[in-house]
Chains A and B, each alone.
Chain A
């Protein structure tokens, strides 16, 4: 792929889809600067930074944000390690056996989240584990693993095996060939699996709803509590706006920096070549 210049109508279509996906977020951002609480009728009552100021002193929201981030990081790291190692192992096993294991590992993703949440709740209730951060973590790792496997597995399947054999023929040890040839080839899958696990964990409400307790609240649970009671407070809009802008800048950096660096590298090479010539 990557062969065509994009026509204007294709650009327009992409623009419309992006606008559709970003629209509610733009609304949320506008509401975070709206002095109206925007809970009954929606009105614009002027620009304010009050919600951002009140956010700093809102311990409830900030502590639930901390829980969410810690949980997402832990769940993403552990599920990426378990999932990637298992995916590599599975690709070397007999198809019949690996097929069974794969099908079982996809259950948490393919099955209804609500059913997985309830089943874990039943397990914890019967074993007698107090629900809290640990049970939340177990729940999140369980539903993240299949997403990691699903994004790593296609990369392993598409891996051209002759590359690995060529490395061995040229004298590389199997370990070296895996680290130098195999892992870099499947790395995009591992990274996208990790990012997916992280975002899904941060975004998860349903599994968390059934596996948490003892006052341990993630941000989505705090939001749900607000939504069912008095409506979402504008501080949450303010917080989400901040998070979104930070993530936006980071992602932009990840996407734009490599091409700038590439250009710099090319310039360096040209310079050194010139030196060699002279």
Chain B
């Protein structure tokens, strides 16, 4: 008899199960051609140097060259700015997502729309607008002077670069958290209340663990672009706050050293991928943990 039954504990979704690999094929081809091969090229350029006659030879010289405060300081500054940005975005964005998801009001859609609308204006224009507000002869200083105060120096500091990154990436934190919270089943909260859990306890035992996947998506969407930005630091920081992105850009632009630029890119990529791996682990652990605690 051929009647073997499959185990019932198959947790995989069954929609698209039969044709799963066919459906994934276009993606796989795309990824190989335009993600993996190009990254291998960066790898190759990163571990080679160009000889005077134009040929390439394998050498780790460029990694030694990177171990210099001129390059290390921007890397550390980038990590610091991205960390602050991510933490502040969670602190500012979580309450927004939470209030919007809990509210019965009809205007929540409009508020969400207003939060996402700025993305329709190019970020350089928005950053440029911030500059016209904060510059030495900017709007805020004009107001201060006309009110009889002294001019303030806002521009070209780490603080104003952080303001720029927070401003730019905050919507990316709010969106995924709100998406997850909207799906939270009220009966869970009601059951917990019936069993005597206080509102605070309900929040920390149910709502917060439930929103972790959203927070993690948000962190991924905020941390990485802010660790590698170079336009925001260029416009708001002047040359005073160089970030690692500015170093890479200059190697492929003005300096024209593709090999060293690739080496720096490899280092940044290693950090970013390690970060991605770490949050991927957290994601899985938290999802399993949620299954247990509920």
Any B CB within 8 A of the CB of A74: no
| Chain B, range 100-133, C-beta contacts under 8 Å to A | 100-106, 109-111, 113-115, 117-130, 132-133
Any B CB within 8 A of the CB of A62: no
Given A113-B228, A122-B41, A240-B122, answer yes or no on A158-B35 (Cβ-Cβ < 8 Å): no
Any B CB within 8 A of the CB of A178: yes
Chain A window 184-225, contacts with chain B (Cβ cutoff 8 Å), 1 for yes, 0 for no: 000000001000000110110110001000000001100110
Interface residues of A, count at CB 8 A: 104
Please name the residue on chain A nearest to B137 by beta carbon: A41
Check if B13 sits within 8 Å of A156, measured CB to CB. Answer: yes
Q: Shortest CB–CB separation between residue A116 and chain B, in angstroms? A: 8
Any A CB within 8 A of the CB of B212: no
Please measure, in the bound complex, the distance between the C-alpha atom of A240 and the C-alpha atom of B120, giving whole angstroms.
9
Any B CB within 8 A of the CB of A128: no
Given A91-B12, A203-B123, answer yes or no on A210-B139 (Cβ-Cβ < 8 Å): no
Partner of A224, one of B13, B23, B231, B276: B231
Partner of A91, one of B16, B99, B184: B16
Q: Shortest CB–CB separation between residue A107 and chain B, in angstroms? A: 5
Given A6-B103, A20-B167, A114-B228, answer yes or no on A120-B182 (Cβ-Cβ < 8 Å): no
| Residues of B with C-beta under 8 A to A104 | 31, 35-36
Any B CB within 8 A of the CB of A171: no
Q: Shortest CB–CB separation between residue B276 and chain A, in angstroms? A: 4
| Residues of B with C-beta under 8 A to A259 | 106
List 20 contacting pairs A-B, 8 Å CB cutoff, sorted by A.
Answer: A2-B101, A6-B105, A14-B99, A21-B114, A27-B139, A82-B26, A89-B21, A92-B19, A93-B20, A94-B12, A110-B272, A111-B272, A112-B245, A120-B38, A122-B45, A156-B15, A177-B15, A227-B235, A243-B121, A248-B117
Q: Which residues of A line the B interface, CB within 8 A?
A: 1-6, 10, 13-14, 17-18, 20-25, 27-28, 31, 38, 40-43, 82-83, 85-86, 88-95, 98, 101, 103-116, 118-123, 126, 138-139, 141-142, 145, 150-151, 154, 156-159, 161, 164-165, 177-178, 182, 192, 199-200, 202-203, 205-206, 210, 219-220, 223-224, 227, 232, 236-237, 240, 243-244, 247-248, 251-252, 255-256, 259
